[in-house]
Amino acid sequence: MLPLLAAAPAAAREIQLMMLGDSITAGYGLARGQGLPARLEAALRERGRQVRVIDAGVSGDTTAGGRARLDWALADRPDAVIVALGGNDGLRGIEPRASAANLAAILDALKRRNLPVMLAGMLAPPNLGADYGREFAATFTALAEARPEVVFYPFLLDGVAGQPALNQPDRIHPNEAGVAELVRRMLPAVESLLARVPQG
């Protein structure tokens, strides 16, 4: 009689994590494979997580642009989404209430699809004035406070903005070292997001 063979454990399902963003997500000025989605995926895999990070970044995109293309982006059928929009709204001085409305629409659409979400906040450039800066930053905080199901990462460029050694000559887009720092700082929040993805 043949001995019974123990069933091999099922391989962990690969999680599809979409990053909906602008040029920071799209890896502006960086070699292929050095952008934020690719480096985040590599860091997660180094931690033993089977995750594919989908690059849904479009350079120059605003919150309105992200809202307009959301359904198209979701055709990739992600299991979770990082919303990393708003930088271009701040650079253009767009009314914070308009940015808030666009982001709220994106977050609400993702909630209807039962997708876990991380919202990455953004700060406005200082040349637009302190009042605008406070209102702009408060947009992201208010959205997160109203949606406790959302993982909130207050500032996408935390630790990198304003650091010449971590940015390209335009002082806006992270270089390879800057992307590495973004990933290092974001990882705990991203892992909190992944913990909300249903298994099986």
Decide if 59 is catalytic.
Answer: no
Which among 22, 23, 55, 79 is annotated as catalytic? 23
> Which of 165, 81, 172 lies closest to 122, judged by CA?
172
Q: Which of 76, 108, 173, 192 is catalytic?
A: 173
109, 126, 137 from 118: Cα distances, Å: 14, 25, 16
49-61 burial by CB neighbour count: b if 16+ within 10 A, else e?
A: bebbbbbbbbeeb
- Asked if 173 is an active-site residue, the reply is yes
Which one, of 122, 190, 200, lies nearest residue 155 by Cα? 122
Q: Which of the residues 59, 108, 170, 192 is marked catalytic?
A: 170
Cβ–Cβ < 8 Å for 86, 103: yes
55 is catalytic: no
Q: Which residues participate in catalysis according to the annotation?
A: 23, 170, 173
